[in-house]
Each structure stands twice: as C-alpha cells, then as structure tokens.
Amino acid sequence: MDTIFAPWRMEYIKSEKPAGCVFCQCSIRCDDYVIYEGKSCFVMMNRYPYVNGHLMIIPVRHIGKIEDLTPEERSEIFALLDTTVRVLKEAMSPDGFNMGMNIGKAAGAGIEEHIHVHVIPRWEGDTNFMSVINNIRVIPEDMPTTANKLAPLFKKYHREE
C-alpha cells in the first residue's frame, strides 16, 4: 500500500463545516484563501488545487447562472481575469494557462450553486509520473506561501473603476 502524508488536511477533517454556500462563507469571514476582494467579486485560492497557483474568481453575490450576472459583475470578473494572469505571470512564470467555468453538475461543477471562474497556471511537464502512473497530484509549495506571493501583486495590478 502506498502512503502519502498530508498533515495539513487534519485541520479540515476535524473542523466544523459551515452551513450554506462555501463561497458565500469565504467572502463573509475573510477566509485565509481569499487573496483579493473587489467591489462585486473576489479572488480565492482553490483549496484542492490542480497545481500551485490555481485560483478562482467568484462573484460575492450568490448566483448559479452566468446569465444572472450584473453588468458590473461581468466587467469585474473579466478585469480580475486579466489581473490574475498578470499576477501569476510575475509570481510564478507559468508557460500557459487553463481558464474556464463548469456550469452545472453535468459539466463538472463541484459547487454548481455559485458560479466561479478557474484560472490554472500550467508549466511544460507539470503532469509528471506521479499523475500518470499513480493518479496522484503533487503540489510542491504550501498554500500560505503561494498566497503570500500572490496577494500583494493584486494590489499592484488591479485597478478598480
């Protein structure tokens, strides 16, 4: 049997889980993984990242349909998408990006009741033998270190209107 140690997960396993929408709870309690708060949207690190620097842009308002976004929310999501790419380029020098939304359970939405945009930095060779052979992902940097690199850069690059 293979053993992989992830001691940081114990805090989550033992913690009391908030009732209601995970994203609404994050924006209300200023979660440690929220690295930027705008007027109508915020940027949060994905708690279960595909790779280091996997971020999500989330409207503060609880909505599950893209067609329900206000013009302000649409504008801020796109502005934060631009900012997020700039931040990740400076802090992590990725070779490319995956970006997108999973709308609805059939599309793979894990939290379908609150829309969000994923921004995933990618590097040549970031899918290594662990993923291919063992179906295991290796995240080489802890989340607080990544957050500390990224958060200050949002203030540098994002210009609210």
Show the domains of the chain with their CATH numbers: 18-157 (3.30.428.10)
pLDDT tens digit string along 137-151?
677 788 888 999 999
What local confidence, expressed as pLDDT, does residue 7 receive?
66
Is residue 134's pLDDT more than 60? no
User: Which residue out of 54, 114, 116, 158 is catalytically annotated?
Assistant: 116
Report the distance separating Cα 15 and Cα 26, nearest Å: 15
- Rounded-to-integer distance, Cα 95 and Cα 79, Å: 21
**Rounded to 5 degrees, what angle do the CA atoms 133, 139, 145 make?**
170
Of the pLDDT bands very low, low, confident and very high (cuts 50, 70, 90), residue 78 is very high
Structure pTM? 0.80
Percent residues over pLDDT 90 in the chain: 47
**Identity of residue 76:** E
How much is the pLDDT for 95? Answer: 95
pLDDT at 128: 54
User: Considering the chain, what is the average pLDDT of its residues?
Assistant: 83
3-state class of 114 per DSSP?
Answer: coil
Residue 42 DSSP SS3: strand
Least confident among 36-40, 98-102, 123-127, 149-153: 123-127
Tokens 């329900």 correspond to 68
Is position 116 annotated as part of the catalytic site? yes
* 119 vs 101: CA distance, rounded Å: 9
The DSSP annotation for 23-60 comes to HHHHHHHT-TTEEEE-SSEEEEE-SS-SSTT-EEEEES
Confidence at residue 61, expressed as pLDDT on a 0 to 100 scale: 93
Three-state DSSP at 151 gives helix
| Most trustworthy range by pLDDT among 46-55, 61-70, 127-136 | 61-70
